[in-house]
Structure 1
Amino acid sequence: MIPSIYTHLIAAGTALAIGASGAAYVQAQRYGLQIETLKHKATTEELVGERQAVKDMASFQKGLNDALANFQATGKRNAAAQQDLDRSLRDLRGTTAGLRGDFADLPARLERASSAARAEYVTACTAAFEDLAAAGGRLAEGGAAIARQAEGHAADARLMQQAWPKKPSQPVAGATESKP
């Protein structure tokens, strides 16, 4: 009988060992599944954050591209306005040069001219001065428009510079804080 009890005890011990190792294996699988679930959840949350960061960067890039396109379009308009202003200035200089030549010998011509010719000359001079004043006014308006646009661009540039993300300052390597 004794040998048969040992056999039962050995069988019971083996069954206990197999059952315990099976239970430990199942428990390890459960914990492994929980760990993988937690890792998956953390990765998913991180992915959501990364996707939002990509969306934010895309939005920022679109805004930057729109601002650049606006800046380029405004630059083209300014270049056209500058060309118009330069053309007006050349016309004004040409008119002024012509007037200098006309006025150089004016006193001598007025002395020799009849009163009807003087009246006609005064009318022509008045018309030339009116044209000159109008051209000067257009030139001043064009210059003022360019100055306003330049001020607007300078304000836009300041706003873009202020809105641009700043790099956080990095502590100097080897520096230590001293406590009083």
Structure 2
Amino acid sequence: MTWQIKAALAVVIAALAFSAGWVVKGWQASKTIAELKHDATTQELKEAQKVLGDIAGFQKGFTHALSKFQAGNSANAKAQQELGALILDVRGTAAGLRGDFSKLPQRITDAARPALAEYATTCTAVFEAMAAAGGRLAEGGGRIARQAEGHAADARLMQEAWPSLSREVSR
């Protein structure tokens, strides 16, 4: 073998060794890049799972607040119906009393002693009924006021729980 063949063979072997080293280094770099991408993806997945958990918690709270709100609205509607019926009853009683009271002076003048006693008993019963109806009316109004306060508190809670754009921007 001549020195020229040996030199050419040495150059080919050196080129093959260099190429093999280059390929191995490329494989190592690819492996490192894949590991870094995997770590980044794993971290993003963990963050996405946390956000998903936060959203699920918010959804649960919102659903609970919404059901309380709907129950409050239903109770308010029922209380308003009861109050409306009570007001109609009081109006009917008041209308009947107006007619009775307009004729009362003449009746008292014309009435005999037993009739006066009967009028006094009837008037007392009417005033007692009015007082009872007024008490029921006041209780109904108080109940509606308490329910309205609860409704307002629920509305505030939902408003505060709902994420606002201004709060998100400030973070």
Distance 1:68 1:27 in 2: 61
Summarize deviations over 1:104-155 as a string: whole Å, max 9, x none: 1111111221212211221111111111111111111111111121122222
Residue matched to 1:178: none
Residue matched to 1:8: 6
Distance 2:86 2:99 in 1: 20
Summarize deviations over 1:79-110 as a string: whole Å, max 9, x none: 00000000000000000111111111111111
Larger helix proportion of the pair = 2
Query: Are 1:164 and 2:127 counterparts?
Result: no
Summarize deviations over 1:10-65 as a string: whole Å, max 9, x none: 11221111011101101110110111111011011101111211221122122112
Letter in 2 for 1:67: A
Residue matched to 1:78: 76
Compute the TM-score of the two structures, normalised by the length of structure 2: 0.91
Distance 2:3 2:68 in 1: 95
Written as runs of structure 1 = structure 2, the 5 A alignment for 1:18-97 is: 18-97=16-95
Gaps of 5+ in 2: none
How many residues align? The count is 168
1:74 deviation in Å?
0.9
Distance 1:118 1:37 in 2: 105
Residue matched to 1:98: 96
Could you tell me whether the CA contact under 8 Å between 2:69 and 2:154 is conserved in 1?
no
Question: What SS does structure 1 have at the residue aligned with 2:163?
Answer: coil
Alignment counterpart, residue 154 of structure 1, candidates 152, 155, 161: 152
Distance 2:24 2:109 in 1: 125
Q: Comparing 156-165 with 98-107, which one deviates more in the overlay?
A: 156-165
CA RMSD of aligned residues (A): 1.6
Compute the TM-score of the two structures, normalised by the length of structure 1: 0.87
Identity %: 51
Letter in 1 for 2:126: A
Distance 1:126 1:146 in 2: 30
1:68 deviation in Å?
1.2
Distance 2:19 2:116 in 1: 127
